[in-house]
A and B are shown apart, each in its own frame.
Chain A
Amino acid sequence: MAEVARTMQAGTGIDDPVGRLVRRLQARYAGRITGGVVLPERPAQLLPLPEELDPRLAAALRTRGVQQLYSHQRAAWDAVTAGRHTVVVTPTASGKTLCYNLPVLQAALADRAKALYLFPTKALSQDQVAELMELNEAGNLGIRAFTFDGDTPGDARRAVRTRGDIVVSNPDMLHQGVLPHHTKWAQFFENLRFVVIDEMHSYRGVFGSHVANVIRRLRRVCHFYGSDPVFVLSSATIANPGELAEGLIGAPVTAITESGAPAGERHLLLWNPPVVNADLGIRASARSQATRIARMAVKSGLKTIVFAQSRLMVEVLTKYLKDVFDADPRRPARVAAYRGGYLPGQRRETEKALRAGSVDCVIATSALELGVDIGSLDVCVLNGYPGTIAATWQRLGRAGRRLRPSLGVLVATSQPLDQYIIRNPDFFLGSSPEHARIDPDQLLILLDHVRCAAFELPFRRGDRFGKENLEELLGYLEEHGVLHREDDTWHWTEDSYPAQSVSLRSVAEGNFVVVDSTGGRKEIIAEVDYSSAAETIYEGAIYMVQAQPYQVERLDWAGRKAFVTRTAVDYYTDAIDYTRLKILDRFENRQDGRTETAHGEVHLVRRIPGYKKIRYYSHENIGYGNIDLPDQEMHTTAAWWEVAPEVLAQCFPNRQQALDGFLGAAYAMHHVAALIAMSEPQDIGRAVGDGDARWFATVGSDGRGQMRRPDGSEEDPAQETRFRPAVFLYDNYPGGVGLAAPLFEQREQVIAGAARLIRECECRHGCPACVGPILASDEERGFSPKTAALAVLAQFQSHESEEPA
């Protein structure tokens, strides 16, 4: 977004209804609008259709009103037809699908070349097939595109394998259903010319690391059949599209980042609900604000979309808006809901109504975020921050097609991430800070896919797969009797189907399943990673699925099952986490004698001795429970920040306050780090304590920090001989998935972001949106956790101007 013109004023189109709405909102709710921007109108950059384009294809395009290509479409054509792997980064609704459909269809027409399309979700695959088919019919091209996923009936699968020119699927299906049966797909692989990977930015973290390995396997199988397909990827705006693409496919990739699509003038407002309780930092709900904005927009005659984070929220918002606009049942509905869980037919109908303009307001989940064509809308309201900046822009892109002015409003909830984003418009509106990271050589993930790959085709000495020593991995599997080596070839001998036990969404296979046993049922409703099981599904825990609370009745640790029943309670549970870390190895550091920032390898031991019951809204502690689980240990990578004892002695009247400061700073840093790492907060762990595992800190029942020895007993901070606390942000997977090093690289952003989050929070002494829950009584003691946290962060920042040690 480098060309962004930043101004708080409405644009030039004085008389357009969007401009009028913006001015009205700004006039009436100035206090709630924390920032805004106008992106000027952008004309189309057009180039002629390629001369070598098949005349039937050109005719099909003209039938659909395409006489010329946008510059990025033409650039993609040139790169892909030259045989270069290509990633296209373009905003929503910029015609990215033509970037890959054109070369694919051209090759299918010319040589019956085949293509594989991978989408992260099933719904999206269906839409893509529909779109391809429209072009196909328009030009009478005779191309066959089929979806192949879990819903494809058995008798149709054969036809897909042998007759499909374009097969549309997803990475999970490729991993479990296609590659292990590649002999049945021989014809397809022999002629495979293109692999299209849409929504590339969703392949990051653990999932992305797995997908990169699935692609290694795909290329290996292609090689067996003598093909070497060209990869075409598309992505929303992230900071490192080329790097991610190269990591995913393991080959150099040409990145096309300049969009030639036209766009109308776009207004964006950042909206923070008003504070209703300053002491506790409680704000009015985002829901109430989103409803209000949508109501004003629809009343102004503007087509509006509201994005909610959960299906439940979609239903709630729909009800509120229907109460206003669809009170008269005799008139056609003006408000519609759209979310996963609805039948495909229902969804298609809503899409049609939207395209036809007969619905004025739609409330949707992310199901509508991706490629689904719903025509042009004027206003987009986001009820809560979608979690990444890339997803935010994708959703906002839903409004403002076809050169009309549009408005997007991001309404923050009281979650720390939302509050951070809403108060830092620069962070949001500047160039994308989000780096999508993957670590395809994460040892456990790599081992899983070496197993799957060995099942698919025997490995021979000298083969390559990933960057670790393949022969050692094969030797390891041989020692375990999984592979048999004969004449320098490793053959699969196990009576098993390894892809079945490898989930692309987790590291290793120790996952727990959550079983709903309400009223004698036995239904699996969720899966929990081994590493987070101890802190989320202990007996007594309240476990939330789609906003429905369940209580864990029994945890079968060996069987990897948690049995839960539906419940209705007004509290949630929070595990007490005793985590201590020992620094094993420093990979890189910066220090100035007062403080040190570093990243490296750590060994951590976590004990979950009990949990707290916390009442909603008031965050009042209403009880405790014990948890009897063994210690968890993990080797992983972390970034950490340490301050020398004498510096702390100068800054704080006592060690207790320093400890509180560290805990508050860690809380804020954790949330900012999740944002920068483009990950969920639970992918990163945080801990405060001694870097040699002498002691660690937790928040006690009185809301104050406590110092504990490794055995869990409490210690007076004043008595500790080595008071050198550190904040650790660690990669919450055994072995790590590559999150720690980037946090070190972007340490200035982490610290500056955390400081802003706390400083700009409107609470008085601290709240769940900045330093974590605190008790009201702190105020009386004349101590502010906020101030303490800021003092710690100031120290972390102090050495950044120094030279590396």
Chain B
Amino acid sequence: MNLKSRLEELRRQAGVSPGLAPALHQGSRDAEGSTGLPKPDEAMTPTQPLPSALRSRLERLGGRAAEPPGPRSGGGGPGTVSPRRPEGPGVASNRQRAGGVERTAGLARLLGGEVVARHLILVESLLPLDTRHGGVPLADSLQTVWPLAAAQGSIAGIDTETTGLSGGTGTTAFMIGIAQAEPEHVRVRQWLLTGFAGEAAMLVEVAEVLAGVDLLVSYNGKTFDLPLLRDRRRLQRGPALPEPPHLDLLHPTRRLFRNVWPDCRLGTAEQRLLGLAREDDLPGSEAPRAWRDYLAGAPADDLERVLRHNALDLLSLLVLGPALARVLRDPAAFVADPLAAAETWNRSGEREQALSVLTGSRDRLDTRGELELAWALRRAGRWTEATAIWERLARGGCIEAVERLAKYHEHVRRDWSQALVYASRLEEGPEARRRRRRLVRRLSPGQGRLDL
């Protein structure tokens, strides 16, 4: 028996779940294939016709599929032979091999790019700064991202489209986009592979660009895009990629809006902060299929949409940083978490900004927010306002506020009996015991051994 037919049969007998292709595609989001592979060119002729013995074997197995090994009530058959397989992707790739160069050139023309290396297209565009991106002009990309990052100089957004999201060395970036804010315009460069052979050249070009960047901006790029590019470079045995300072906007977005928005995907941030609603956008999750289909010989329409999707992502990255900086200055106006904003300012050493953000959102503070406000007030020397907050919280049973008050009365007011009143409400523990002993000693010298 031939190897392929043995495989078909054994896989079916081993219960590889109904339909061979979906089983092999396990873990793939578009495994159902309902959107399907576009019908390959009719004129195409298979260069490797299946041996007739194998074909008949396959057909016989297909016939058996009438009595599936699933329950009689249904539930799917065995290795139903996919009708498209005989003229499937493998065969199409042969055609692609034959006409790879022309096909790449044709795609470059379609996308308005140029072929810069074998199997590598670069699409470059310059967008005037008055171009609207949703509700904001691209000129916004030149505005400050402080306090999110301190960079001066060349800022670049980076976003990749990959063959999958599962990670690991089998995942490839087939498109890398970099957008840079320049004084006159925004420069968008997108490298697109039309075959794996273009990858090394793509990484070389991207490395050159990165070497001149002062701040890299991404959305989840610290976790996904950059490690992926690093891995690909390693697989190509190339030198390490330059690693400029990197601002991953997913993290501040999450901190500010985690409890406010239904999710913190880039699309959500675009809608809420940039007023951008994408029309006819190819979902990012469709990108892997689009590229795979192209490799398999399908028309490039969907790749064009991937390119557009990627460009929109890149523009969003450039204006989203300044937009988040605006949120940080006035979180109340964006219903963002004031505490998260204050903490960001604090980390940048801007305590006054932190205080003003908290004061500006007073009515929206929860207990943690109020404690932070009281702490900011205390640091600013505004003790009366601080203690007022602590006292209110202490009445509500907030132990942290009680502790603050105990410390305040002991160390600032030196009112030991008041301090002891609060100290006695603290949770039992060595520290609380020490504090109470100390206070008792101070209240009645000589009787410090009084056991409390």
Q: Which residues of chain A come closer than 8 Å to B96, judged between CB atoms?
A: 486
Task: Name the CB-closest residue of A to B82.
Answer: A480
- B13's partner among A472, A498, A557, A634 (CB-CB below 8 A) is A634
Q: Which residues of chain A come closer than 8 Å to B3, judged between CB atoms?
A: 443, 468-469, 472-473, 476
Contact A558–B196 (Cβ < 8 Å): no
- A447's partner among B7, B28, B30, B196 (CB-CB below 8 A) is B7
Task: Name the CB-closest residue of A to B285.
Answer: A495
Q: List B residues 137-188 near A (Cβ within 8 Å).
A: 163-170, 172
In the docked arrangement, what's the CA distance between A374 and B236, Å?
50
Q: Which residues of chain B come closer than 8 Å to A633, judged between CB atoms?
A: 13, 69
User: Is B214 in the interface zone, CB < 8 Å from A?
Assistant: no
Q: Which residues of chain A come closer than 8 Å to B251, judged between CB atoms?
A: none
CB distance from B448 to the nearest CB of A (A): 40
Q: List B residues 61-90 near A (Cβ within 8 Å).
A: 67-72, 74-76, 85, 88-90
Q: Which residues of chain B come closer than 8 Å to A484, judged between CB atoms?
A: 89, 93, 196, 292, 295-296
In the docked arrangement, what's the CA distance between A103 and B229, Å?
37
Chain A-chain B contacts (Cβ-Cβ < 8 Å), number: 204
Q: Which residues of chain A come closer than 8 Å to B93, judged between CB atoms?
A: 478, 484-486
User: Is A745 in the interface zone, CB < 8 Å from B?
Assistant: no
Q: Given the interface contacts A478-B89, A557-B75, A632-B69, does A444 sit within 8 Å of B25 by beta carbon?
A: no
Q: Which residues of chain A come closer than 8 Å to B443, judged between CB atoms?
A: none
Q: Given the interface contacts A183-B231, A558-B75, does A494 sit within 8 Å of B170 by beta carbon?
A: yes
Contact A443–B10 (Cβ < 8 Å): yes
Q: Per DSSP, are chain A's interface residues mostly helix, strand or loop, or mixed? A: mixed
Q: Which residues of chain B come closer than 8 Å to A186, judged between CB atoms?
A: 234
In the docked arrangement, what's the CA distance between A454 and B6, Å?
21
Contact B7–A443 (Cβ < 8 Å): yes
Contact B15–A180 (Cβ < 8 Å): no
CB distance from B245 to the nearest CB of A (A): 20
Contact A478–B90 (Cβ < 8 Å): yes
In the docked arrangement, what's the CA distance between A511 and B16, Å?
8
User: Is B316 in the interface zone, CB < 8 Å from A?
Assistant: no
Contact B10–A635 (Cβ < 8 Å): yes
User: Is B197 in the interface zone, CB < 8 Å from A?
Assistant: yes
User: Is B384 in the interface zone, CB < 8 Å from A?
Assistant: no
Q: Find the residue from A494, A557, A559 having the highest chain B CB count within 10 A.
A: A494
User: Is A735 in the interface zone, CB < 8 Å from B?
Assistant: yes
Contact A496–B28 (Cβ < 8 Å): yes
In the docked arrangement, what's the CA distance between A33 and B367, Å?
75
Q: Which residues of chain B come closer than 8 Å to A559, judged between CB atoms?
A: 75
In the docked arrangement, what's the CA distance between A110 and B335, Å?
61
Q: Which residues of chain B come closer than 8 Å to A560, judged between CB atoms?
A: 15, 17
User: Is A630 in the interface zone, CB < 8 Å from B?
Assistant: yes
Chain A positions 182 through 203: 1 when the CB is less than 8 Å from some CB of chain B, otherwise 0: 1110100000000000000000
Chain A positions 496 through 518: 1 when the CB is less than 8 Å from some CB of chain B, otherwise 0: 11111100000111110000000
Contact A558–B89 (Cβ < 8 Å): no
In the docked arrangement, what's the CA distance between A458 and B166, Å?
17
User: Is A660 in the interface zone, CB < 8 Å from B?
Assistant: no
User: Is B235 in the interface zone, CB < 8 Å from A?
Assistant: yes
- B7's partner among A476, A485, A493, A628 (CB-CB below 8 A) is A476
CB distance from B26 to the nearest CB of A (A): 5
Contact B30–A495 (Cβ < 8 Å): yes
Q: Which residues of chain A come closer than 8 Å to B164, judged between CB atoms?
A: 494-497
User: Is A477 in the interface zone, CB < 8 Å from B?
Assistant: yes
User: Is A40 in the interface zone, CB < 8 Å from B?
Assistant: no
User: Is A181 in the interface zone, CB < 8 Å from B?
Assistant: yes
Contact B172–A491 (Cβ < 8 Å): yes
Q: List A residues 420-449 near B (Cβ within 8 Å).
A: 443-444, 447
Chain B positions 1 through 33: 1 when the CB is less than 8 Å from some CB of chain A, otherwise 0: 001101101110111111011011111111000
Q: Find the residue from A184, A484, A495 having the highest chain B CB count within 10 A.
A: A495
User: Is B97 in the interface zone, CB < 8 Å from A?
Assistant: yes
Contact B71–A501 (Cβ < 8 Å): no
Task: Name the CB-closest residue of B to A484.
Answer: B295
Contact B15–A455 (Cβ < 8 Å): no
Q: Which residues of chain B come closer than 8 Å to A447, judged between CB atoms?
A: 7, 11
Contact B21–A481 (Cβ < 8 Å): yes
User: Is A257 in the interface zone, CB < 8 Å from B?
Assistant: no
- B24's partner among A469, A477, A485, A629 (CB-CB below 8 A) is A477
- B169's partner among A457, A500, A511, A635 (CB-CB below 8 A) is A457
Contact A479–B90 (Cβ < 8 Å): yes
Q: Given the interface contacts A186-B234, A485-B93, A497-B167, does A558 sit within 8 Å of B18 by beta carbon?
A: yes
In the docked arrangement, what's the CA distance between A498 and B75, Å?
24
Q: Which residues of chain B come closer than 8 Å to A735, judged between CB atoms?
A: 6, 10, 13-14
In the docked arrangement, what's the CA distance between A447 and B4, Å?
11
User: Is A489 in the interface zone, CB < 8 Å from B?
Assistant: yes
Q: Find the residue from B164, B167, B172, B196 having the highest chain A CB count within 10 A.
A: B196
Q: Which residues of chain B come closer than 8 Å to A473, judged between CB atoms?
A: 3, 7
Q: Which residues of chain B come closer than 8 Å to A530, judged between CB atoms?
A: 14-15
User: Is A690 in the interface zone, CB < 8 Å from B?
Assistant: no
Task: Name the CB-closest residue of B to A634.
Answer: B13
Contact A444–B76 (Cβ < 8 Å): no
User: Is B195 in the interface zone, CB < 8 Å from A?
Assistant: yes
Contact A481–B15 (Cβ < 8 Å): no
- A494's partner among B28, B48, B70 (CB-CB below 8 A) is B28
In the docked arrangement, what's the CA distance between A531 and B10, Å?
11
Q: Which residues of chain B come closer than 8 Å to A476, judged between CB atoms?
A: 3-4, 7
Task: Name the CB-closest residue of B to A469.
Answer: B3
User: Is A463 in the interface zone, CB < 8 Å from B?
Assistant: no
In the docked arrangement, what's the CA distance between A530 and B23, Å?
14
Q: Given the interface contacts A180-B168, A497-B167, A558-B75, does A734 sit within 8 Å of B13 by beta carbon?
A: yes
Contact A481–B89 (Cβ < 8 Å): yes
User: Is B113 in the interface zone, CB < 8 Å from A?
Assistant: no
Task: Name the CB-closest residue of A to B86.
Answer: A479
CB distance from B9 to the nearest CB of A (A): 6
Task: Name the CB-closest residue of A to B232.
Answer: A183
Q: Find the residue from B10, B21, B96, B234 having the highest chain A CB count within 10 A.
A: B10
Contact B11–A444 (Cβ < 8 Å): yes
Q: Which residues of chain B come closer than 8 Å to A509, judged between CB atoms?
A: 16-17, 23, 26
User: Is A550 in the interface zone, CB < 8 Å from B?
Assistant: no
In the docked arrangement, what's the CA distance between A275 and B91, Å?
70
A-B contact pairs, 18 of them (CB 8 A): A181-B168, A183-B231, A457-B235, A475-B4, A476-B7, A477-B24, A481-B21, A487-B97, A496-B27, A496-B166, A497-B164, A498-B27, A500-B166, A501-B26, A508-B14, A530-B15, A557-B71, A629-B71
Binding site for A on B (CB under 8 A): 3-4, 6-7, 9-11, 13-18, 20-21, 23-30, 37, 48, 67-72, 74-76, 85, 88-91, 93-94, 96-97, 163-170, 172, 195-197, 230-231, 234-235, 288-289, 291-292, 295-296
Known interface pairs A479-B85, A480-B85, A530-B14; 5 further A-B residue pairs with C-beta atoms within 8 A, sorted by A's residue number:
A473-B7, A476-B7, A492-B163, A493-B292, A635-B10
**CB-CB nearest 6 A-B residue pairs:** A510-B15, A530-B15, A558-B75, A455-B170, A508-B14, A495-B164
